[in-house]
Structure 1
Amino acid sequence: MSRLLLVDGSSYLFRAFHALPDLRNKAGEPTGALRGVLSMLLPLRTSVGATHAVCVFDAKGKTFRNDWYPEYKATRKPTPEDLIPQIEPIQTCTRALGWPVIVEPGVEADDVIGTLTRQAVERGFEVIISTGDKDMAQLVQPGVTLMNTMTGETLDIEGVREKFGVPPERIVDYLTLMGDAVDNVPGVEKCGPKTAVKWLSEYGSLDNIIAHADSIKGVVGDNLRKALDFIPMGRKLVTIVTDVPLNETLDELTWREPDTATLIEHYTRWEFRSWLRALQAEAAPLPASGEQGGLFAEAARSASVSAVAAVTHEQAEAVERSAAHREAYECILTRDALDKWIAKISAASLTAFDTETDSLDPMLAQIVGMSFCVTPGEAAYLPLAHRGPGVAEQLPLAEVLAALKPWLEDASRPKLGQNLKYDMHVLANQGITLRGVAEDTLLESAAWESDKNHDLDGLAKRYTDLATLSYADVCGKGAKAISFADVPLEQATAYGAEDADVTLRVHQQLAPKIAAEPGLTRVYREIELPVQEVLWAMERQGVLIDAGLLAQQSDELGRKMLEIEQQAYEAAGQPFNLNSPKQLGEILFERQKLPIKKKTATGAPSTDEEVLAELALDYPLPRLLLEYRGMAKLKNTYTDKLPRMVNPATGRVHTSFSQTGAITGRLASSEPNLQNIPVRTQEGRRIRQAFVAPSGWHIVSADYSQIELRIMAHLSSDERLLEAFAQGEDVHRATAAEVFGVSSAEVSSEQRRYAKTINFGLIYGMSAHGLARSLEIERSAAQSWIDCYFARYPGVARYMEETRANARAQGYVETVFGRRLILPELKSSNAGRRQGAERAAINAPMQGTAADLVKLAMRSVYDWLIRDGLQSKLLLQVHDELILEVPESELALVREKLPKLMAGVAELKVPLLAEVGVGANWDEAH
């Protein structure tokens, strides 16, 4: 894994200056800070084992925070006179040691580090931040650790909580309350660490503290109320910004070769004799950047050895604190106990079931244990693969699976779980097919309240009064995290059995709510539960890719990117880093004087994709940059990455489909995401050529035609739209004829294009301004066409107005099938957000209904393939399209039957139409 080491150079130099005595060379020049900083930097290159690294220093002068608050750091003492002459040598020697160095004018080192941390986390890097600054604790998250070289302290998420009394996500609140005297940021007077922690523990967040300010008694309560006006600014000032423009990219932050000549020169001048002798005597190069060694590596090894014991001790306390509801939990360790539970679950009308595993990858996960619950409060955990000292004898895995297989595969034994699709994979890895899935709390939650999160911890908080254990409570976090297989049985039983218990309790709360709503019952029972098995089968099947073709495409993309880079240099009049927002901003807005469309949080002109797309309409350089970014995304996300994701056991790529990723019910694909492959460019479409069929087989694609327009016709009951679809007309041509007042035969290709834009634009709530921009026409002309459209299609106008009104009144809209799409921003006091939610309210029923139809089609097609014993398999679902793998012997049958099945899943006021394509690969079939 790539590892980024971020050193807070400014923190280093001030701490070194104040920590060491007044050291000087024979010329009387101060050397203490220089010696101290180099003493901390020298071992880091070999001890941390980072692949990427940078030392960040504050630049001279004011920063953007001074623009927000002129008094920021106004009371800070001037830099000590003896430190000033050491700063430049510190930076020079740091570079000479092979460290990349960043000194960003107008930006604090904290914000540079925050930005690089965010970028690194997004790319899957592990990040280590070396600093003594408590503010940096707000950056800690999974994969991000703080390291203090002066004290030897390392802080992961749990370490931050232990040190400060609050988790990383509350550090900003904590700092805001206390203020920062050094930076002249006022907080709440007399609110120190204890009071801040007390308030945050009691109220949960700064916002909630503010909401309850009137109820906080005493002098400190009065002080809080006095500070309320400044708190928003205080919070802004102590929050590390993570999107500042930088000249350097992550890929540039790799180790350099040491500049020995410069080091010898400085070691000589500053009289660092021992380092000078070592450098002159050293014949071998520095260890490679990936090597481990030194005190930090030794500490990491020690932590790894003691992690189980440390987590066991800490989590034993957590178990004890909230163990009241776990008294009836049982750990199954004997065959008699197992037989009793098999009898119990076999007789039960519904059993909550869960697996614990050693991996989050469903195709690779192996069972560590199982849990069962048939009555709230009475649950059991069955350990199967725990290890380590103190773990009691467990029943043999093979024996247990053989005993449980009849129940697991019995469709007449109803089972309940939280995301049972995952458990289906885990059992399939053991040769067992889970049947009898009757209920799933993940899908119940998504049906009942589409706008909420649906994880079990969140459901437990909303629907039970239990103080539940989290996975981190028993396994720890960050560097201290252990595998569930290493969790002692007492804690594993408390956690595993509780999962089954809580799942049953949540179901008992949600089931009657859904049953009381016919529409939600239909969505849950006729759409979501049935399609879960289809998605499992598709994930299990995977898709075949041509890795060689992807490698070839990757090379071609790389060459094209180089060509575009040269064209961009010519358009800019100079070379520059195309991946640097700062350099790009300077060229676009300072040198070429292009209009600034919007700004970032720091006040710099934005160069995001939306801005470039707008500028690309009139200027060549933004167009080139968009083209470059598009190709870079294709290369990094698909052509380079997909071959590495082939499962070695199956030879295929296995994506994961989520049913709960969007309030509209649309499926989401991840690891890899196969739904977002761009198809508007030739390069994007070519990636689909790498999704291939085996020899003797074909890829078949079936796509609903103009599905959302047909749904609009159904929902609006507009007579002209209904007639156009009933007659099988080209609806865009028909719209053009209506809007432009000509016959269908007289509609030009340009008019049809305009009508198509209007049709789809209005579905997505496009304004006259948006339509004008899309068609490159005057806003008045666009408004005229919209007015004409609504005049000719009054049913559409009526539907939109009624939908807005109903959405405002209810807070949600519904699909044709009864799916409830909750839009919280409909109640927002922010006009922009409220209007955005109203636009979404118009589109959501169409998008949601389309999602429902596709899921119904998937189930219909899957059932047919299984029922008739066909070899053809469903592979993927992308938007309104189903992709299958079909043998030559079944091709004619599938081409005939597939569109009929898809068209017949529901009766709308207009006919549904599915079109089928066939090819050797996905691109040919689409």
Structure 2
Amino acid sequence: MTAIKPLVLVDGSSYLYRAFHALPPLNTSKGQPTGAIKGVINMLRRLQKDYPDSPIAVVFDAKGKTFRDDMYPQYKAQRPPMPDDLRSQIEPINAIVDAMGLPRLVIEGVEADDVIGTLAAQASGERPVLVSTGDKDMAQLVNEHVTLVNTMTDTVMDVAGVNTKFGIPPELIIDFLALMGDKVDNIPGVAGVGEKTALALLQALGGLEDIYQNLDKVPDLAMRGAKGVAKKLTDQREQAFLSYTLATIKCDVPLDVSVPELLPNSPDKTRLLSLFTEFEFKTWVQELSRDERTELINESKASDVPSDDALDAVPAFTGTPDYQLILTQSQFTHWLDKLNNAPLFAFDTETTSLNYMQARVVGVSFAVNMGEAAYLPFGHDYLDAPDQLAENDVLAALKPILEDHNKLKLGQNLKYDANVLANHGITLRGIAEDTMLESYVLDSVGSRHDMDTLALKYLDRSTIHFEDIAGKGAKQLTFNQIALEEAAPYAAEDADVTLCLHHVMAAKLKASPSLMSVYRDIELPLVSVLSRIERNGALVSRELLGSQSHELGLKMQALEKEAYDLAGGEFNLASPKQLGEILFERLNIPVIKKTPKGAPSTAEEVLVELAHDYPLPKVILEHRGMAKLKSTYTDKLPLLIDPKTGRIHTSYHQAVAATGRLSSSDPNLQNIPIRSAEGRRIRQAFIAPSGYVILAADYSQIELRIMAHLSEDQGLIDAFARGEDIHRATAAEVFGVAVDEVSDEQRRNAKAINFGLIYGMSAFGLARQLHIGRKEAQEYIDLYFERYPGVLRYMDETRVLAAEKGFVETLFGRRLYLPEINASNGMRRQAAERTAINAPMQGTAADIIKRAMISVDQYLSDSGIDAKLIMQVHDELVLEVAPAALDEVKAELSKLMMAAAKLAVPLEVGMGTGANWDEAH
């Protein structure tokens, strides 16, 4: 019979400090400390090697205080703050542990010891437990099922080992710590009782309780100062038992995870390669690079994407690359000939800023053949920089090539390059390939899509990082300040690697016509569309935002006063502890949820629930909401206004959201609130310029319409075909009443069901949202599926197909891979199943709005009509239109948006106009 493999619980916090202090200082070439990272990860790799089939979980201390601090404020109070060099290594360690696929636990209100003790207690008797730690306090956990292992000293400690090391059995370790105290944790113990005295007492009389029951025997013990020890024990009895409690590892912490769920995920080797490269662990990079290459080849042979010979479709360049620095006109002329005659060339800009509206080009790089690239600088202006060709001459010579539709260009995130070239009066045309988008379409969840990560993944190649040549932080150089002997290899490599990446990924895309269609017909044409929208920007009123910030500040002050009146005194509204005392002690509001350390929770979902019945939680929520609006929008948006255009220019990101949706930043337009009056006022600050109006057009209930199409449910299809209010129609079906007899409450409930099922909401979630019992919520769901059986069939079939294929697809062929769809962990598997159901709807909606944007942009460009796209938000397009053109634009916009997809139900487009975005929406 096969022996049960042990559960390995790692005391990450213990190793963190030990590695930091034990190993010599290690730093990357950029100055990033890595000693603790290397020590901790090396220990984990050792454990994986020593216990290859064992589940391994890593536990770290959470930030903030624990229940022990509440019990004894001086607990660990003497500890100095974490050194900055160690603090900077925490997030890298977390990232690597996650990429290794190991469960990582951080529980607020308790220490890592308590989490480990709880898991060890849960597993006790079911399977052996190994606790990997260097902390002596953990010896109290040792028993016939639990053993300590210290990988830094290569020692193992079982029950006999504890006896040998400490002179007492594991069950007396807590008593030992209670008597002698612990300077590291500032546990007081009994003053004057050291290690020898504590051992003598424990060996002679037993545990702490036994000692205090036999204090009269202490003076007779054969130890130094026995009579004085008895008095010290008597005088410090309370301190001794407090120390006992402080030293006791809590073994009943409420956890959201149980021992059977501590299963590893598959390691994200691409992410590991990126991290190990970033922190310059060269040996680990070499090991993983070999493994990654083998794995990619094996995957390609087992899947229809990529093709069998995808990795070898174009021979990888293996020689020494030829990177040239162009400083003379003859060199430039030679490369101009190469570019003019190339069927496709890789192109990249080097600039002064990441802000595309303000950046200036200081040099460009090209590659025509793999392994051969050049950098042409013209704006490096550091002291003693060599003579360079003149910017005007270079750009004038390149402009005809860059603006020629027939000269095909390849790049990595060419939208940025197009925007920056526009600052120089050049319109980039002929965008034929983009490696960032090739990677995104191939697998939106498989890895990051930056060039360095892709080079490791597809080329087994470590690249020069920008920080390697520019430094980082406040002292980081802009590219024009970087010496050409460093800048040229970096820039030329960018073009070369981009060309090499394209050859590999293009072969993969060709193996799947549906993915190639998403790339060619949706993502690539969208690059130029988004570039135009970004540069168009949106006009905002600095005055309106300033006025709203002032008003929000006044409202927040009024809400603070109202909160003080309701609470019966002033308190810090941002303090969970003070708020908890007010709500649950002073006002006696019932506790509905507790934190891990047992304190009443004041989390937002708790306050939302309490706000239905009590005024103070409602006021707190209103105050929080206004504070967020003020800091995130009304205070910040004016700072984002471009000084040259007077407009806000967001950045749209095509390769971020797994489902295909666009995201945006600086500002994030997708999150501007609309449900509250204050949130809508932010949209009022997005105004039309003089002589124009804002036109907003959005798809109505698009995801529900896609659900009707995908599920082929006749009831839903008929309701949409009749143009019915879908939520009212659903309510009529579910509650068995005529459509005109549906109450507002029934419609609200039906709306919650309609949208809830799209996002995989359970009966529990629906019950919470509707404030009804779980049984009643389940009855609603059952009635829904009874009336719309096609929806249930679609959900069931989707789960099965997703499990078989490992991915789901949108109507247009976009794929979302689901690595957890067959996970043995039930929670992970169910989450993947919910994603499988929702992703085709969200992804199809994303594809439809993107197709609409391409068509609308083409119409605006071809017609020359006085209108332009200025924003895309969720399922909505926002335009500035001259009043004289409004009727034509509205008619054409509606036609183009409805034609973006042919569904079993009609697409419906709602439109509005106004002087600002809020009026138009």
Give the TM-score normalised by structure 1: 0.67
The equivalences for 1:864-903 within 5 A come to 864-903=859-898
Query: 2:451 — aligned with what?
Result: 456
TM-aligned CA deviation for residue 571 of structure 1? 2.3
Query: 1:553 — aligned with what?
Result: 548
Distance (Å, rounded) in 2 between the aligned partners of 1:702 and 1:590: 51
TM-aligned CA deviation for residue 567 of structure 1? 1.4
TM-aligned CA deviation for residue 829 of structure 1? 4.3
Retained in 2: the 8 A contact 1:64–1:107?
A: no
TM-aligned CA deviation for residue 592 of structure 1? 4.0
Opposite residue 574 of structure 1, the aligned amino acid is G
- From the superposition, tell whether residues 622 and 832 of structure 1 become closer, same or farther in structure 2 (CA, over 3 Å): farther
SS at match of 2:698: strand
Of 835, 852, 867, which aligns to 2:830?
Answer: 835
The equivalences for 1:369-518 within 5 A come to 369-451=363-445, 452-518=447-513
Distance (Å, rounded) in 2 between the aligned partners of 1:454 and 1:480: 27
Query: 1:808 — aligned with what?
Result: 803
Retained in 2: the 8 A contact 1:918–1:924?
A: yes
TM-aligned CA deviation for residue 591 of structure 1? 4.0
Retained in 2: the 8 A contact 1:137–1:171?
A: no
TM-aligned CA deviation for residue 604 of structure 1? 5.3
Distance (Å, rounded) in 1 between the aligned partners of 2:493 and 2:750: 57
TM-aligned CA deviation for residue 387 of structure 1? 2.5
Instruction: Confirm or deny that 1:688 pairs with 2:690.
Output: no
Of 794, 801, 806, which aligns to 1:799?
Answer: 794
Write out per-residue CA displacement over residues 694-745 of structure 1, whole angstroms, 9 at most, x where no aligned residue.
1221000101011011000000000111111122222122211211122223
Query: 1:788 — aligned with what?
Result: 783
Instruction: Confirm or deny that 1:138 pairs with 2:76.
Output: no
Retained in 2: the 8 A contact 1:325–1:466?
A: no
Of 760, 764, 767, which aligns to 2:759?
Answer: 764
Instruction: Confirm or deny that 1:644 pairs with 2:639.
Output: yes
TM-aligned CA deviation for residue 341 of structure 1? 0.7
Query: 2:167 — aligned with what?
Result: none
Query: 1:613 — aligned with what?
Result: 608
Retained in 1: the 8 A contact 2:68–2:75?
A: no
Write out per-residue CA displacement over residues 626-658 of structure 1, whole angstroms, 9 at most, x where no aligned residue.
111111111111111111211110011111111
Query: 1:519 — aligned with what?
Result: 514
Instruction: Confirm or deny that 1:917 pairs with 2:912.
Output: yes
- From the superposition, tell whether residues 618 and 823 of structure 1 become closer, same or farther in structure 2 (CA, over 3 Å): farther
Distance (Å, rounded) in 1 between the aligned partners of 2:98 and 2:774: 48
SS at match of 2:375: strand
Distance (Å, rounded) in 2 between the aligned partners of 1:859 and 1:448: 21
TM-aligned CA deviation for residue 108 of structure 1? 5.7
Distance (Å, rounded) in 2 between the aligned partners of 1:665 and 1:512: 22
SS at match of 2:538: coil
Of 528, 531, 537, which aligns to 1:533?
Answer: 528
Distance (Å, rounded) in 2 between the aligned partners of 1:395 and 1:879: 45
Retained in 2: the 8 A contact 1:351–1:372?
A: yes
Query: 1:194 — aligned with what?
Result: none
SS at match of 1:877: strand
Opposite residue 604 of structure 2, the aligned amino acid is E
SS at match of 1:675: helix
Opposite residue 405 of structure 2, the aligned amino acid is A
Query: 2:660 — aligned with what?
Result: 665
The equivalences for 1:326-365 within 5 A come to 327-365=321-359
The equivalences for 1:213-228 within 5 A come to 226=156
Distance (Å, rounded) in 1 between the aligned partners of 2:731 and 2:721: 17
Retained in 2: the 8 A contact 1:328–1:377?
A: yes
SS at match of 1:761: helix
Gaps of 5+ in 1: 1-10, 12-61, 71-102, 114-130, 142-165, 174-182, 186-205, 207-218, 231-313
TM-aligned CA deviation for residue 326 of structure 1? 5.6
TM-aligned CA deviation for residue 606 of structure 1? 4.3
The equivalences for 1:94-493 within 5 A come to 135-138=86-89, 226=156, 327-451=321-445, 452-493=447-488
Distance (Å, rounded) in 2 between the aligned partners of 1:378 and 1:639: 50
Retained in 2: the 8 A contact 1:415–1:439?
A: yes
Distance (Å, rounded) in 2 between the aligned partners of 1:424 and 1:694: 26
Of 654, 672, 676, which aligns to 1:677?
Answer: 672
SS at match of 2:569: coil
Query: 1:282 — aligned with what?
Result: none
Distance (Å, rounded) in 1 between the aligned partners of 2:443 and 2:509: 10
- From the superposition, tell whether residues 486 and 169 of structure 1 become closer, same or farther in structure 2 (CA, over 3 Å): farther
- From the superposition, tell whether residues 633 and 107 of structure 1 become closer, same or farther in structure 2 (CA, over 3 Å): farther
Gaps of 5+ in 2: 1-16, 18-63, 101-110, 114-133, 135-148, 162-278, 290-316
Distance (Å, rounded) in 2 between the aligned partners of 1:879 and 1:171: 31
Distance (Å, rounded) in 1 between the aligned partners of 2:583 and 2:539: 43
Distance (Å, rounded) in 1 between the aligned partners of 2:486 and 2:99: 33
Opposite residue 902 of structure 1, the aligned amino acid is M
Distance (Å, rounded) in 1 between the aligned partners of 2:709 and 2:79: 55
Distance (Å, rounded) in 1 between the aligned partners of 2:112 and 2:440: 47
TM-aligned CA deviation for residue 667 of structure 1? 0.7
Write out per-residue CA displacement over residues 401-434 of structure 1, whole angstroms, 9 at most, x where no aligned residue.
0111110111101101010000011100111011
Query: 1:64 — aligned with what?
Result: 66
Opposite residue 496 of structure 2, the aligned amino acid is D
Distance (Å, rounded) in 2 between the aligned partners of 1:227 and 1:678: 57
TM-aligned CA deviation for residue 896 of structure 1? 1.6
Distance (Å, rounded) in 2 between the aligned partners of 1:538 and 1:109: 56
Retained in 2: the 8 A contact 1:373–1:504?
A: yes
SS at match of 1:553: helix
TM-aligned CA deviation for residue 400 of structure 1? 0.4
Relative to structure 2, which stretch is displaced further, 624-633 or 482-491? 482-491
TM-aligned CA deviation for residue 832 of structure 1? 2.3
Distance (Å, rounded) in 1 between the aligned partners of 2:806 and 2:903: 26
Relative to structure 2, which stretch is displaced further, 131-140 or 491-500? 131-140
Retained in 2: the 8 A contact 1:538–1:875?
A: yes
- From the superposition, tell whether residues 110 and 862 of structure 1 become closer, same or farther in structure 2 (CA, over 3 Å): farther
Opposite residue 508 of structure 1, the aligned amino acid is H
SS at match of 1:584: helix
Distance (Å, rounded) in 1 between the aligned partners of 2:842 and 2:857: 23
TM-aligned CA deviation for residue 568 of structure 1? 1.3
Distance (Å, rounded) in 1 between the aligned partners of 2:94 and 2:891: 59
Query: 1:908 — aligned with what?
Result: 903
SS at match of 2:355: coil
Distance (Å, rounded) in 1 between the aligned partners of 2:684 and 2:583: 36
SS at match of 2:688: coil
TM-aligned CA deviation for residue 564 of structure 1? 1.0
- From the superposition, tell whether residues 904 and 479 of structure 1 become closer, same or farther in structure 2 (CA, over 3 Å): closer
Query: 1:563 — aligned with what?
Result: 558
- From the superposition, tell whether residues 226 and 591 of structure 1 become closer, same or farther in structure 2 (CA, over 3 Å): farther
Retained in 1: the 8 A contact 2:536–2:870?
A: yes
Write out per-residue CA displacement over residues 206-251 of structure 1, whole angstroms, 9 at most, x where no aligned residue.
9xxxxxxxxxxxx997955849999xxxxxxxxxxxxxxxxxxxxx
TM-aligned CA deviation for residue 661 of structure 1? 1.8
SS at match of 1:329: strand
Query: 1:627 — aligned with what?
Result: 622
Opposite residue 371 of structure 1, the aligned amino acid is S
Distance (Å, rounded) in 2 between the aligned partners of 1:577 and 1:430: 52
Opposite residue 329 of structure 1, the aligned amino acid is Y
Opposite residue 404 of structure 1, the aligned amino acid is L
Distance (Å, rounded) in 2 between the aligned partners of 1:759 and 1:875: 32
Give the TM-score normalised by structure 2: 0.68
TM-aligned CA deviation for residue 822 of structure 1? 2.0
Distance (Å, rounded) in 2 between the aligned partners of 1:329 and 1:781: 70
- From the superposition, tell whether residues 170 and 818 of structure 1 become closer, same or farther in structure 2 (CA, over 3 Å): closer
